[in-house]
Amino acid sequence: MADGPVAELLLRRLEASDGGLDSAELAAELGMEHQAVVGAVKSLQALGEVIEAELRSTKRWELTVEGEEIAREGSHEARVFRSIPPEGLAQSELMRLPSGKVGFSKAMSNKWIRVDKSAADGPRVFRVVDSMEDEVQRRLQLVRGGQAEKLGEKERSELRKRKLLAEVTLKTYWVSKGSAFSTSISKQETELSPEMISSGSWRDRPFKPYNFLAHGVLPDSGHLHPLLKVRSQFRQIFLEMGFTEMPTDNFIESSFWNFDALFQPQQHPARDQHDTFFLRDPAEALQLPMDYVQRVKRTHSQGGYGSQGYKYNWKLDEARKNLLRTHTTSASARALYRLAQKKPFTPVKYFSIDRVFRNETLDATHLAEFHQIEGVVADHGLTLGHLMGVLREFFTKLGITQLRFKPAYNPYTEPSMEVFSYHQGLKKWVEVGNSGVFRPEMLLPMGLPENVSVIAWGLSLERPTMIKYGINNIRELVGHKVNLQMVYDSPLCRLDAEPRPPPTQEAA
């Protein structure tokens, strides 16, 4: 467009003009649509300082469709007058003419015609004068010729009331020469081409400026799932801290490893049908380590290892019941049992992140399956202070530095502590994890040495992810109802980086 013929014409006219020209006048002179001139102005503007264009709005009178018709064919009253022959015309016939109704009354009031009601075959209309001046047509023709200013205010408003005239606002440009004015505007190149590079023509060619406000074209790419991006980061953190990953690739677990081995009594509410998914097929575990099972049974029902025990009738059938593991601690128990079988004892640091299952009521933050993150350290003489120290390092890597610890109860840890962190957004302490020292009643039957302590902590993967990515409904994150657009758009997971400030609350 910038190099179109209109732009060239415009530049030439502008060169010859004295100071500037009006886009509408130019259009009229060139006999083209005003819009074409405007397009040329805009494309020249885009070149920088070639021209200066000032937007002006002017008001103008224009004929309406009816006004155009009258300017062409005369007013209704004139047409009525002309249609009456010297011998007169029946009024009923006259009324049937297109201009009949309006023209009749106007011609009457102009006293151009009269009605003879005494005629035998109904009222008849006759001319009163021989000729008349069609003033309306004359005025409209003036307007059509662009000479509306020759009409008085009163005359114009009368024509407007008759809906023959309308006032329109016209946006025009007052175009003047710019600081870089030139009539020889060459065609702007949009992009650099291989030919230009080889010929060197790029040196002499102007290039169309880029609009840096426009968005780029996103690359076609695959995307990783945000929850699993966070999982990768947690794995990374554990690995940085020297923790070895435990195998957790067994969703199906026996009640024994899931509960009994953890010294969780058989009447514990977590073992209820309402909380845990039990299996119909395969309903029972086929093998259990029977020596160890006997020690677990004794600890539950009679005590031992310094414990009073729970003093109830422990049942093997209950321990055999298969279920979908309710926590990854069952995998930790297996790992610790394997560790206990290796002599001599070697200290370990373990971690796992995997799915667990709860037969729970579902809501916006709870699903029947979620991911649990678990860390375990087994060594001689570990203290509660050590647990807190490890937690501090772990959470620091997550960007959480303000921690405090609340006494809590877990069936298989003692002491137990819930971990709270201060949430800047919510302005309160929120629970971020659970932790404790595994009970001797859990560790000693496995065969671990008496002076070995095992500290452990756990948290869910979903919760920090939902906070990190600002997701309120867990179904948008996990499961098939995921919002893929959210997956496409989610940023990298950098847990220790400053989170983006939360969007400001809009007034309800």
Partner 1 sequence: MPTVSVKRDLLFQALGRTYTDEEFDELCFEFGLELDEITSEKEIISKEQGNVKAAGASDVVLYKIDVPANRYDLLCLEGLVRGLQVFKERIKAPVYKRVMPDGKIQKLIITEETAKIRPFAVAAVLRNIKFTKDRYDSFIELQEKLHQNICRKRALVAIGTHDLDTLSGPFTYTAKRPSDIKFKPLNKTKEYTACELMNIYKTDSHLKHYLHIIENKPLYPVIYDSNGVVLSMPPIINGDHSKITVNTRNIFIECTGTDFTKAKIVLDIIVTMFSEYCENQFTVEAAEVVFPNGKSHTFPELAYRKEMVRADLINKKVGIRETPENLAKLLTRMYLKSEVIGDGNQIEIEIPPTRADIIHACDIVEDAAIAYGYNNIQMTLPKTYTIANQFPLNKLTELLRHDMAAAGFTEALTFALCSQEDIADKLGVDISATKAVHISNPKTAEFQVARTTLLPGLLKTIAANRKMPLPLKLFEISDIVIKDSNTDVGAKNYRHLCAVYYNKNPGFEIIHGLLDRIMQLLDVPPGEDKGGYVIKASEGPAFFPGRCAEIFARGQSVGKLGVLHPDVITKFELTMPCSSLEINIGPFL
Q: Which residues contact 399 (CB under 8 A, 6 or more apart)?
A: 495, 496, 497, 498, 499
Is residue 469 within 8 Å of residue 227, measured between CB atoms? no
**Alpha helices (H) along 384-469:** 384-397, 440-446, 462-469
Distance CA 81, CA 139 (A): 18
Q: Which is nearer to partner 1, 332 or 453 (CB)?
A: 453
Does 198 engage in binding with partner 1 (CB under 8 A)?
Answer: no
Does 318 engage in binding with partner 1 (CB under 8 A)?
Answer: no
Q: Which is nearer to partner 1, 123 or 309 (CB)?
A: 309
How many other C-beta atoms are found inside a 10 Å radius of the C-beta of residue 207?
12
Distance CA 395, CA 11 (A): 69
Give residues 70-109 in contact with partner 1 (rule: CB under 8 A): none
Does 503 engage in binding with partner 1 (CB under 8 A)?
Answer: no
**Residue carrying the six token digits 């064919």:** 73
Among 61, 81, 173, 277, binds partner 1 (CB under 8 A): 277
Distance CA 352, CA 241 (A): 13
Among 72, 481, 496, 502, binds partner 1 (CB under 8 A): 481
Among 225, 295, 298, 315, binds partner 1 (CB under 8 A): 225
Does 216 engage in binding with partner 1 (CB under 8 A)?
Answer: no
User: Apex CA 150: angle with CA 148 and CA 152, to 5°?
Assistant: 95
Any bridge partners for residue 174, and if so which?
22, 54
Does 259 engage in binding with partner 1 (CB under 8 A)?
Answer: no
Give residues 335-354 in contact with partner 1 (rule: CB under 8 A): 347-349
With CB under 8 A as the contact rule, which of the stretches 108-116, 126-134, 145-153, 482-490 interacts with partner 1? 482-490
Is residue 457 within 8 Å of residue 391, measured between CB atoms? yes
Give residues 381-410 in contact with partner 1 (rule: CB under 8 A): 381-386, 388-390, 392-393, 404-409
With CB under 8 A as the contact rule, which of the stretches 70-78, 81-89, 183-191, 248-256 interacts with partner 1? 248-256
Residue 493 DSSP label:
-
Minimum CB distance to partner 1, residue 395 (Å):
11
Among 287, 472, 504, 505, binds partner 1 (CB under 8 A): 287
Minimum CB distance to partner 1, residue 19 (Å):
54
Q: Which is nearer to partner 1, 151 or 443 (CB)?
A: 443
Q: Where are the beta strands (DSSP E) in 359-508?
A: 369-380, 403-407, 413-423, 428-438, 452-460
Among 472, 480, 505, 507, binds partner 1 (CB under 8 A): 480
Q: Which residues contact 301 (CB under 8 A, 6 or more apart)?
A: 309, 310, 311, 312, 313, 314
Minimum CB distance to partner 1, residue 240 (Å):
8
Q: Which is nearer to partner 1, 36 or 367 (CB)?
A: 367
Give residues 443-472 in contact with partner 1 (rule: CB under 8 A): 453, 455
Give residues 298-317 in contact with partner 1 (rule: CB under 8 A): 303, 305-312
Q: Where are the beta strands (DSSP E) in 45-91?
A: 51-63, 89-90
Among 242, 425, 491, 502, binds partner 1 (CB under 8 A): 242
Among 38, 125, 285, 333, binds partner 1 (CB under 8 A): 285
Does 333 engage in binding with partner 1 (CB under 8 A)?
Answer: no
Hey, is 61 helix, strand or coil?
strand
